Amino acid sequence: MAASADPPVEPARDYPPELARLPPGRHGLPREFVAHNQRERLIAGIAEAIAENGYSGTTIAHITRHAAVSRRTFYEHFASKDECFVAAYDTVMEELRERVAGAFEDEDEWPRAVRAGIGAMLAFLAAEPHLARLCMVEALVAGPVVVERYDAAIQSFVPYFRGGREGRPPEVLERLSPTTEEALVGGMVSLISRRIIAGKTAELETLLPDLVEFTLTPYLGSAEAAKVAQAS
Amino acid sequence: MRPSPGRHPLSREFIARHQRARIISALAEETVEKGYRAVTVADIVRRAGIARNTFYENFSSKEDCFLAAAEFGVNETLRQIVEASGKVDGWPARVNAGLAAFLRYVASDPALARLCVVEALSAGPASVERYEESVQSFLPLFRMGRKLCPHGEDLPGTLEETIIGGIFWIVYQRIIMGQAEQIEELRPELVEFSLAPYLGAEAAKRVAAEAPPLAS
């Protein structure tokens, strides 16, 4: 599988404190490492609570229990469960975006950069099933404010693909429609979300060759795209 | 379809069906405004202009109503796609006709389309399951394209899923930007997007340039 060529998931010390505190995934920081910052604990707490109960089933009491803070402390930081979720969502997405950007920028050629970026996204989500669920599935449940952020976050991946237009021959540029990149991102995210919902988060990295071929084909043609997708 | 007023009295069945449709569209509109979770039965009842009892004669809960709305939307879309694509021959022309019918339906009821395409993922496990079923029901319509492709066997196994996801995403983005009325203009682009992996970019463009059959 092409995924084996990807760099291993970053160790826990590279996580921002909110995420490093989270128990799911492979980093497994002991409780002693728990950041003392209450806000961070609450953000981590909501992610744990949601992993257990889903967004709708999560109460403030669940969050404060996981965060080991009082209800009063919760309300000193957040006005509502929704507000706490927004903070958690933003933290996870920032981390995901940074990983994608880092992997993308490490490659010189655009097709390989796309492959690295998608690989980094799949690796992060596969290693952090609870965070994957939070940002790709539960975000949609959490009401209009988060849905708006979700939309903006997904659209923020469009420019990576749009870069593929640079230096393409005129006949290729001419047939690329203005919505090509949006459709590619939407198709990719939709597939990932459905796999997470189906409980196949751990296998997300096996999607890498398919997603690379799908996203590169409009720019490179299917033969060339397949070659990049299968390259190790 | 609508019985002309005055000539025959409205049947009980017609009224019931009409009421159901009205409740469903009230739910869809409320959901657009507030998101599914925040919508209450009281909101739906108020917008539909019906009694609370009438709501409960038709649906057991908000979730029941939501599932009925999503089912209605998906079935209606599929029916119109099948009807439109049956008017032309050959898979590429059918995709063209089917997408035209799909977009026409979205333009005619953006709130319900949004409910089916996006909100369905936010409305609990039963709804998510239904959403998955609806995606699955669209898959074969595209998968047929593999037979027309010399390297059909080698295409990514998830190709149809990503194509459908891409189409839904574009449609969703246009709806939230308030551009549902112009959504039919996207037909050529989406036809190309759907056909290019199977037929190549040139042939896909040629099909997309053909006008699909008009709505009946």
| Prediction ipTM score | 0.85
Q: Is the pLDDT of residue A27 over 50?
A: no
| Angular region, B4: left φ>0, alpha ψ -120 to 50, beta rest | beta
Which 172-211 residues of chain A touch chain B by CB within 8 A? 172, 175, 177-180, 182-191, 193-194, 197-198, 207, 209-211
Residue A158 contacts B where some CB pair is shorter than 8 Å:
no
Q: Which has the closest alpha carbon to A210: B146, B157, B200?
A: B157
**For residue A6, how many other CB atoms are within 10 A of its CB?**
18
pLDDT in tens, B20-71: 999 999 999 999 888 888 899 999 999 999 999 999 999 999 999 999 999 9
Q: How far away is chain A from the Cα of B142, in angstroms, using its nearest Cα?
A: 14
Residue A8, exposed/middle/buried by CB under 10 A (0-12, 13-18, 19+)?
A: exposed
Q: Which of B156, B170, B188 sits opposite A183 (nearest CB)?
A: B170
Q: Which of B38, B132, B157 sits opposite A194 (nearest CB)?
A: B132
pTM confidence score: 0.84
CB contact under 8 A, A182 and B169: yes
Cα separation, A65 vs B6, in Å, equals 64
Residue B34 pLDDT: 86
Phi then psi dihedrals of residue B37, to 5 deg: -60, -35
The pair of three-digit structure tokens given for residue A68, joined into one six-digit string: 């080991």
**A25, B201, B211 from B206: Cα distances, Å:** 48, 9, 11
Q: Which of A183, A209, A222 sits opposite B166 (nearest CB)?
A: A183
**A34, B172, B196 from B163: Cα distances, Å:** 43, 14, 11
Partners of B169 on chain A (C-beta within 8 Å) are 154, 182-183, 185-187, 189-190
Single-letter residue type at B49: G
Cα separation, B171 vs B36, in Å, equals 19
Partners of B190 on chain A (C-beta within 8 Å) are 179, 183
pLDDT in tens, A121-170: 999 999 988 899 999 999 988 877 888 899 999 999 999 999 999 989 99
Packing angle of the helix pair A81-105, A144-155 (nearest 10 deg): 0
Phi then psi dihedrals of residue B30, to 5 deg: -60, -40
| Mean predicted lDDT score pLDDT of chain B | 90
pLDDT in tens, A29-46: 434 344 447 888 898 899
pLDDT in tens, B145-199: 999 988 888 999 999 999 999 999 999 899 888 888 899 999 999 999 999 999 9
CB contact under 8 A, B164 and A187: yes
Q: How far away is chain A from the Cα of B173, in angstroms, using its nearest Cα?
A: 8
Q: What kind and span of H or E run contains B162?
A: helix B159-176
CB–CB of A143/B35 below 8 Å?
A: yes
